[in-house]
C-alpha cells in the first residue's frame, strides 16, 4: 500500500514537472518564410511576450525546420502548409504528423470549393490525427497580375467551412480573416459549430478601425439564452482567436496586430477573462485536450 501511494505521488510529480505552463499569448497564424534568421527573430519575440506560435511550414522547408520546432516546443507548434490539390498531399500530412506537427494550413487557392467531396480523404486524415486546420477565407491577394492563375475567392467562402466542421467533428477549424467581407456568415457558422474559430488578421481591423463597435453586431449573442442559440461562453467574441498572419518575414506585423485586436476588443467591451481566452486560453485548452 505504501509502495502504491509512493508510486502515485511520483507519477503526479512527474506529470506536474512535465506539464508545460500556459503561454500568455498564442499566435495561431505565422508563416515561415524558409529563412532561419527569421526563425531566430521570431523566437526572441516569442520569449519577450511569453508566446507560442503556430508556424506554417511549406513542404519544401520541412526538412530544414522540423528539428528547430521540436527543440523549441514551448514556443513553436508546427503546421504543414499543404496544397489540397497536390497529388502527394496525404503522404505529406503523414510526414508532418510523424514530426509532431499539430495542424495543417494555411490552406489557400483550392481548385475546387473547400467542402468539395474530392478533398474528403485529406480532412479524414486530419481528423484521424486530431489536427487543427487553418483555412484562408474571403478575399485573397493577387501578387502577379500579369500571370494567369486558377484562383477564385468563391471557392474559399466562409460558408464552405460549415459542412467540413459538421462532417469532421474532431478537426478544429480556424478560418483566417473572418471571411472578409462575409463577417456575418463567418460568425454565424461559428455560433453553431463548436469546432470553428476565426482569426481577424488581414485588412479587416484596418478597414474597420474607425468603427470597431461594428463587431458587436457580428458577435451579438453574448449571454443570450434562447432555444434558437446554443449555450456558449459568456462572450460571443470567444469564437475568435489571435492570429497575426506574419508572412514574408515581416515580424513587425505581429505587434501591430496585437494592438489592433486589443483596441477592437476594448472598444466592444469584451471582458478581460474573455480576452485572455482569445489571446491564448482557448487554443491552449484545445492543444492540451486528451
C-beta closer to Zn ion: residue 89 or 174: 174
Minimum gap (Å) between residue 81 Cβ and Zn ion: 11
Distance CA 8, CA 31 (A): 42
Residue in 97, 136, 191, 260 binding Zn ion, rule: CB under 5 A: 136
Minimum gap (Å) between residue 134 Cβ and Zn ion: 8
From the list 74-82, 93-101, 136-144, 216-224, the region that binds Zn ion by CB under 5 A is 136-144
Minimum gap (Å) between residue 132 Cβ and Zn ion: 15
C-alpha closest to that of 45 among 78, 70, 79, 76: 76
Distance of CA 199 to CAs 151, 190, 238, Å? 22, 12, 11
Residue spans of alpha helices (H) in the chain? 2-18, 36-49, 59-71, 89-98, 120-128, 160-167, 183-192, 204-207, 215-218, 252-267, 272-276, 282-287
Distance CA 288, CA 10 (A): 21
Give the strands of the sheet with 132-136, arranged side by side: 25-31, 51-57, 76-80, 103-107, 132-136, 172-176, 196-198
3-class DSSP assignment, residue 52: strand
C-beta closer to Zn ion: residue 81 or 235: 81
Give 197's strand partners. 174
C-alpha closest to that of 125 among 147, 78, 92: 92
Minimum gap (Å) between residue 155 Cβ and Zn ion: 14
C-beta closer to Zn ion: residue 136 or 191: 136
C-beta closer to Zn ion: residue 45 or 136: 136
Minimum gap (Å) between residue 156 Cβ and Zn ion: 9
C-beta closer to Zn ion: residue 72 or 260: 260
| Residue number closest to Zn ion, CB atom | 136
From the list 5-13, 130-138, 151-159, 227-235, the region that binds Zn ion by CB under 5 A is 130-138
176 binds Zn ion (CB under 5 A): yes
From the list 31-39, 60-68, 125-133, 176-184, the region that binds Zn ion by CB under 5 A is 176-184
C-beta closer to Zn ion: residue 201 or 277: 201
C-beta closer to Zn ion: residue 200 or 270: 200
Neighbours of 25 (CB within 10 A): 17
Distance CA 97, CA 79 (A): 9
Phi, psi values for residue 8, rounded to 5°:
-60, -45
Minimum gap (Å) between residue 281 Cβ and Zn ion: 24
56 binds Zn ion (CB under 5 A): no
What residues make contact with Zn ion under the rule CB under 5 A? 136, 176
Amino acid at each position: 500500500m505504501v509502495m502504491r501511494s509512493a508510486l502515485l505521488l511520483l507519477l503526479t510529480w512527474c506529470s506536474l514537472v512535465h506539464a508545460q505552463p500556459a503561454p500568455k499569448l498564442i499566435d495561431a497564424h505565422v508563416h515561415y518564410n524558409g529563412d532561419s534568421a527569421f526563425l531566430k527573430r521570431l523566437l526572441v519575440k516569442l520569449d519577450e511576450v511569453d508566446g507560442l506560435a503556430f508556424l506554417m511550414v511549406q513542404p519544401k522547408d520541412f526538412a530544414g525546420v522540423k528539428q528547430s520546432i521540436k527543440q523549441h516546443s514551448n514556443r513553436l507548434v508546427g503546421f504543414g502548409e499543404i496544397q489540397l490539390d497536390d497529388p502527394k498531399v496525404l503522404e505529406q500530412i503523414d510526414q508532418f504528423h510523424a514530426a509532431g506537427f499539430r495542424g495543417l494550413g494555411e490552406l489557400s487557392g483550392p481548385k475546387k470549393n473547400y467542402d468539395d467531396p474530392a478533398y474528403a480523404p485529406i480532412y479524414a486524415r486530419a481528423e484521424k490525427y486530431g489536427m487543427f486546420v487553418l483555412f484562408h477565407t474571403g478575399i485573397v491577394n493577387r501578387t502577379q497580375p500579369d500571370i494567369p492563375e486558377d484562383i477564385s475567392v468563391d471557392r474559399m467562402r466562409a460558408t464552405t467551412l460549415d459542412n467540413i466542421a459538421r462532417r469532421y467533428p474532431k478537426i478544429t477549424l480556424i478560418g483566417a480573416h473572418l471571411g472578409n467581407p462575409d463577417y456575418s456568415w463567418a460568425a454565424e457558422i461559428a455560433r453553431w459549430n463548436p469546432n470553428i474559430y476565426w482569426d481577424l488578421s488581414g485588412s479587416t481591423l484596418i478597414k474597420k478601425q474607425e468603427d470597431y463597435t461594428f463587431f458587436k453586431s457580428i458577435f451579438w449573442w453574448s449571454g443570450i439564452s434562447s432555444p434558437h442559440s446554443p449555450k456558449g461562453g459568456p462572450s460571443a467574441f470567444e469564437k475568435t482567436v489571435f492570429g497575426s498572419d506574419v508572412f514574408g518575414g515581416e515580424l513587425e506585423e505581429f505587434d501591430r496586430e496585437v494592438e489592433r485586436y486589443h483596441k477592437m476588443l476594448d472598444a466592444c467591451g469584451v471582458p478581460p477573462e474573455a480576452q485572455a481566452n482569445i489571446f491564448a486560453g482557448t487554443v491552449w485548452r484545445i492543444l492540451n485536450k486528451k
